[in-house]
Chains A and B, each alone.
Chain A
């Protein structure tokens, strides 16, 4: 009995003492330590790395030119015949007779591009608005936040559709802008909230008591401490912006030039034949879901890892 009790006390003592690996680690480093052990993060990371790698090398990976109508002779519109799987074309062709696998692979490029750029632009806009509102407060805060509230009150996809519809000529660029604008209010609201919490925090008061200038207070003391939730949101937004962009393309608000493949647009093109050729809908939809899942898993595990209550 005494032995086990002693062991327990020893274990307790050990757990409260700083471990050697703990010394010299910043917040980011200790978050990374916890991330590495999280299976959800590993799954998300594998999906994401695979997806990004495929997107980068897809032009060389694709067995055929995604725009060439190699199998056009097998397409019979009247009888709803679409090239089936065959040697050299493992997934067959699309309704225009283009190699489906190649289009799927190359399509990842557009998806990655839309996701990354829409998120970055949304993040940048949200950072500016959120910092302004959170740092200045007062009427600036009121004006910015009311504008944000108005945007948030419209369902995001409806808002994206309305913004895309404003452009005379839809293109991949207009999709990115539409999706990005939809994300801005989310980032702005999130950042403003954590900035306000920082503004009243002890360490900001301490910095003010040392005469630190307002600019340095905002950019050195408030902003870096407010970024955690924003970074998490950014990974989650990558997923939603991929889905939103696919939805816009699916609705015909994307790039009208279908020689550049895009998953949402492929899904839209397969829509009329979904009962006779469900595989043509399944593949692009599956890709969108898996990629979105990958980013979501990373985002969720990042949120857990950055939560200060979980430290150590």
Chain B
């Protein structure tokens, strides 16, 4: 049985005086124990809202969540606030994008780490402090005893993110959701944090949902990748298949727009034209059609269905043919 099963998750925002906005539109995926699953897409595609919906952190007023999120057989969406609170931090952990603003500026790091331990593992303060020292050690923070007495503004960006990872993993959750955990960090620190996450996931057997817009992160970390566009999954494949043979034009475009060291001199990047603002509703068309190089008439008149193509899920009327991508394939094999 899958650890987490998301079925037909739909999140829409209802604000007075504004049209209903559907941020996530029938997303389904599964996470097996210990597996690392990527949710990829550009800003506004619904990645973060999906993660907040799984964690039950969306505002009660204004956000309507439907579908089903089962964690180890328990339907999370129907849990009471109290029960969901007990699970957050214990069974499901989350790491956010901006490590500075995600830490409470007026409380020492030590108190913030021990707060979780006291809350979920009922540890007395002293024991929790010892455990917190261990945790900081484990996430690679040097001199943890001193760091525990310091405040967030005294830590470097990388160390803050390490501290947040320590807090999220303090109660050994079986699922960790990392929402763009490296976006606010330097490139070198990014690599360190990714290596740390990889190591922790391997050592503790924690399943990881990696939310990112950075395909480089996905390439290094994820077993399976879901590409989101306009609140729906447009392509799902194992990492290797996705990178070698992107079938959805959007995935293809994302990969083509990555700068590469081995590209010929003077060769231009190929961006995806337009922006998320050009989306059309999924109702009677493909939301990506206005930006798609492969768009046919049918793309503007009929919603593409999710279909399985050779072990991958695809939502496209006119996918990129594998052969057309032979050159890219060669590149990746090197």
A: residues with CB less than 8 A from B are: 18, 22-27, 138, 201-203, 205-213, 216, 220-221, 224-225, 308, 311
Contact A205 B57 (CB under 8 A): yes
Once A and B bind, how many residue pairs between them come within 8 Å at the CB atom? 86
Q: Verify if B130 is at the interface (C-beta below 8 Å from A).
A: no
A208 to B60, CA, bound (A): 14
Name which residue of chain A comes closest to B164, CB basis. Answer: A206
Name which residue of chain B comes closest to A214, CB basis. Answer: B85
Q: Verify if B55 is at the interface (C-beta below 8 Å from A).
A: yes
Known contacts: A24-B149, A202-B98, A205-B57. The answer to whether A211 contacts B105 by CB under 8 A is: no
Contact B94 A225 (CB under 8 A): no
Which stretch in B25-33, B112-120, B235-243, B307-315 binds the other chain?
B112-120
- 11 A–B contacts from the bound complex (CB under 8 Å): A24-B149, A27-B105, A206-B167, A209-B57, A209-B168, A210-B88, A211-B85, A211-B90, A212-B116, A220-B107, A224-B107
B41-60, CB under 8 A of A: which get 1 and which 0? 00000000000000101000
Name which residue of chain B comes closest to A222, CB basis. Answer: B104
Name which residue of chain B comes closest to A202, CB basis. Answer: B101
Contacts of B264 in A (CB 8 A): none
Known contacts: A26-B151, A202-B102. The answer to whether A208 contacts B115 by CB under 8 A is: no
Name which residue of chain A comes closest to B115, CB basis. Answer: A212
Contact B85 A209 (CB under 8 A): no
Q: Verify if B93 is at the interface (C-beta below 8 Å from A).
A: yes
Which residue of B96, B107, B120, B151 contacts A202 across the interface (Cβ within 8 Å)? B96
Contact A210 B115 (CB under 8 A): yes
Name which residue of chain B comes closest to A201, CB basis. Answer: B101
Contact A225 B119 (CB under 8 A): no
Q: Verify if B154 is at the interface (C-beta below 8 Å from A).
A: yes
Which residue of A24, A211, A224 contacts B87 across the interface (Cβ within 8 Å)? A211
Contact A225 B105 (CB under 8 A): yes
CB distance from B59 to the nearest CB of A (A): 9
Name which residue of chain A comes closest to B111, CB basis. Answer: A220
CB distance from B131 to the nearest CB of A (A): 15
B: residues with CB less than 8 A from A are: 55, 57, 61, 85-90, 93-94, 96, 98, 101-108, 115-116, 119-120, 149-151, 153-154, 164, 167-168
Name which residue of chain B comes closest to A138, CB basis. Answer: B61
Contact B119 A203 (CB under 8 A): no
A273 to B206, CA, bound (A): 84
Contact A24 B96 (CB under 8 A): no
Which residue of A18, A206, A210, A224 contacts B119 across the interface (Cβ within 8 Å)? A210
Name which residue of chain A comes closest to B150, CB basis. Answer: A24
Scoring B90, B104, B105, B154 by chain A CB atoms within 10 A of each residue's CB, the highest score goes to: B104
Contacts of A220 in B (CB 8 A): 104, 107, 115
Contacts of A27 in B (CB 8 A): 105-106, 151, 153
Contact A209 B89 (CB under 8 A): yes
Contact A209 B154 (CB under 8 A): no
Contacts of B85 in A (CB 8 A): 211, 213
A51 to B94, CA, bound (A): 53
Contacts of A23 in B (CB 8 A): 150, 154
Name which residue of chain A comes closest to B98, CB basis. Answer: A202
A25 to B150, CA, bound (A): 8
CB distance from B46 to the nearest CB of A (A): 17
Contact B88 A208 (CB under 8 A): yes
Contact A206 B103 (CB under 8 A): yes
Contacts of B149 in A (CB 8 A): 24
